[in-house]
Amino acid sequence: MKTLEPLEIGPLILRAFREDDAQEVQTLAGDFEVADTTARIPHPYEDGLAEAWIEGQAKEREEGREVVFAIEEVASNRLVGAIGLVLGPQAHSAEVGYWIGKPFWNQGYATLALKGVLGFAFQTLGLERVYAHHMTRNAASGRVMEKAGMSYEGLSPKHFERWGKLEDIAFYGMLRESWRDDG
């Protein structure tokens, strides 16, 4: 996919990242409370990482590996977070992952963004399945998956190591036939 059309979802717009988002990415993702419950965000978040991450996104998208959206608050034009799909090898399925900057938590933004990206995955990309996982200690993310209509698929104890500790992981998924466009 060469270009990424913006998706309008109520108070949010999901769009491709731009170079000038890098500083805000570093600030928001640089908060340990945001990195802590993700699988991959490093801490500390070194200078240059956000620029490199943003720069690599077009190639990942064009080569069909990953599609990442910046989540922007329309009223303030502020970047609030990120949401992305990592595509499986046959492009029938994808894993979705997301983070929201701490100043914007608990306003329903992750849920809205996830609903928007599920629609994009099933309608635009024509995927059959989207799945996600969260650390069991990250109940807010499980709630987001439930509110977006994903189904609980099971628990994987001690699934991976993060910050030197083994994490129990809960899996959620949605099949194309279960997806409903409820606006």
Ligand X SMILES: CC(C)(COP(=O)(O)OP(=O)(O)OC[C@H]1O[C@@H](n2cnc3c(N)ncnc32)[C@H](O)[C@@H]1OP(=O)(O)O)[C@@H](O)C(=O)NCCC(=O)NCCS
Residues that bind ligand X (CB under 6 A): 34, 37-38, 98-100, 105-111, 134, 138-141, 143-144
* Residue 66 beta carbon to ligand X: minimum distance, rounded to whole angstroms: 16
Phi, psi of 71, rounded to the nearest 5 degrees: -105, 120
Nearer to ligand X, 85 or 100 (CB): 100
Question: 12 or 22, CB closer to ligand X?
Answer: 12
Least Å distance, CB 58 to ligand X, is 24
Phi and psi dihedrals of 136, rounded to 5? -65, -25
Asked if 176 contacts 129 with a C-beta cutoff of 8 angstroms, the reply is: yes
CB of 83 to ligand X, least distance (A): 9
Query: What's the DSSP call for residue 140?
Result: H
Closer to ligand X by Cβ: residue 43 or 129: 43
Please say whether the dihedral angle defined by the alpha carbons of residues 136, 94, 164 and 36, taken in this order, is positive or negative.
Answer: negative
Structure tokens at 130: 């989207």
Output 9 or 127, the one with its CB closest to ligand X. 9
- Output 45-52 pairs: Cβ under 8 A, ≥24 positions apart: 50/21, 50/22, 50/23, 50/25, 50/26, 51/19, 51/22
Smallest gap from Cβ 3 to ligand X, in A, equals: 26
